[in-house]
Amino acid sequence: MKINDFTKNYLNQLPPVTLFQGTEPYFVEKTINQIKATFDPVDREESIQILDLSKTSFDELLVQLEEVSLFGTSKVIIVNNPIFLTSKGSLDDKNQKSFLEYLDNPNLENNFIINSVGLALDKRKKTFKQLLKQSVQVDFEELKPQDISKMAQSAFTRNKIEISRDDLTFFLETIGYDLRLLDSNLEKLILFGKTQSITQQVIIDLTDSNPQDESFQLADAILSNNQKRAIKIYQNLLDLGTSPIQINALLLSQYRLMLQIMSSGLSNDAVAKELKKHPFRVQKVGEATRGLSIEDVSNMYLNLADIDYKLKSTTTDPELMFQLLIAKK
């Protein structure tokens, strides 16, 4: 079931058991906030319980499922990190029996939501098969870049704000097609656009860039031997509050993805699906690998790995290490 169908048909009367599945956590947060909004603020804290199964015992979950709200309203129990539904986790015989019994005969005073978004579920498991039979499933899939573009354009159009196609693309690339950044930055651009024209310089001045996208630009500057641009982007990341260790980790991630793309022999779409990466990111990194040798990319990756070790084990100045890194290139 699509998200819109779920909110339209079930938001005011949730099913006894619901399974959230897919890869896009942003829409999970928005949906949970919509569910919270259906409760009186006075009752909300008591009536909505959010449990993290990486920190909470399964026995505690079972207790919560059988309890009823003190306010006489339906109680919502939302479970995050249900690792027992993946190949990496399991339930003991007693808890599995209790869970299966609950699915067969759920407490109708409560609404049980299992949030498995971002997890690779093991469809062979008995618990998963039974859950599919006894629950409403909601799919939270990542939007493609063109869908995010349509979403942003619709927001500008609704507010009667004009923005050119090139400037819209520039805006989305600046935020790395990140839905959270889209949400937080659209309002600023729309407010500005009510009185003045939106240009690329305005976008640069007003929007918060995505560190992931900044790191891609940094990797591109290093590869093209543009030291001045590389140092400027590095400093900008520091100004955004990104630590040297985090910057290095982002660069390592970019070069690792480059190596995976170059050695796979697969299309960008196939790589994105196989590695569970955003298609836009794989596309951009794939474009950056054209004309590069796998030896050059491997050497840079090894240099970054060496810097990662030194950042964590020595007191060498991080900025000096970065300058030496781009000088090697």
Average pLDDT for residues 314-323, to the nearest whole number? 86
pTM comes to 0.64
Domain stops at, among 86, 121, 140: 140
What domain range is 309 assigned to?
211-328
User: Which stretches does DSSP call E strand in 8-66?
Assistant: 17-22, 48-52
Average pLDDT for residues 203-216, to the nearest whole number? 76
Q: Are residues 174 and 115 in the same domain?
A: no
Q: Are residues 150 and 255 in the same domain?
A: no
pLDDT band at residue 19, thresholds of 50, 70 and 90? very high
109 Cβ contact partners less than 8 Å away, ≥ 6 residues apart: 68, 69, 74, 75
pLDDT of residue 70: 62
Domain stops at, among 169, 185, 206: 206
Q: Are residues 270 and 197 in the same domain?
A: no
Q: What is the pLDDT of residues 216-243, one digit of tens each?
A: 778 878 877 788 888 888 888 888 778 8
Count of alpha carbons within 13 angstroms of residue 10, beta-carbon side: 21
Q: What is the pLDDT of residues 39-56, one digit of tens each?
A: 888 777 778 889 999 888
Q: Are residues 124 and 13 in the same domain?
A: yes
Extract the tokens encoding 240: 């955004």
Give me the number of domains the chain comprises. 3
Q: Are residues 158 and 109 in the same domain?
A: no
Domain stops at, among 140, 160, 193: 140
Average pLDDT for residues 17-37, to the nearest whole number? 91
What is the CATH classification number for the domain harbouring 293?
1.20.272.10
2, with CB counted inside 10 A (0-12, 13-18, 19+), is exposed
On the question of pLDDT at 187 being above 80, the answer is yes
pLDDT of residue 93: 92
Average pLDDT for residues 281-310, to the nearest whole number? 84
Average pLDDT for residues 186-212, to the nearest whole number? 85
219 Cβ contact partners less than 8 Å away, ≥ 6 residues apart: 251, 254, 255, 258, 288
Q: Which has more confidence, 72 or 183?
A: 183
Q: Are residues 161 and 118 in the same domain?
A: no
pLDDT of residue 158: 93
Helix (H) or strand (E) holding 139: strand 136-140
Q: Are residues 166 and 134 in the same domain?
A: no
- Dist CA 281 CA 267 (whole Å): 13
Q: What is the pLDDT of residues 57-106, one digit of tens each?
A: 999 999 888 887 665 567 899 999 999 999 888 899 999 999 999 999 99
Q: Are strands 48-52 and 75-80 parallel, antiparallel or unpaired?
A: parallel
What is the CATH classification number for the domain harbouring 110?
3.40.50.300
pLDDT of residue 224: 77
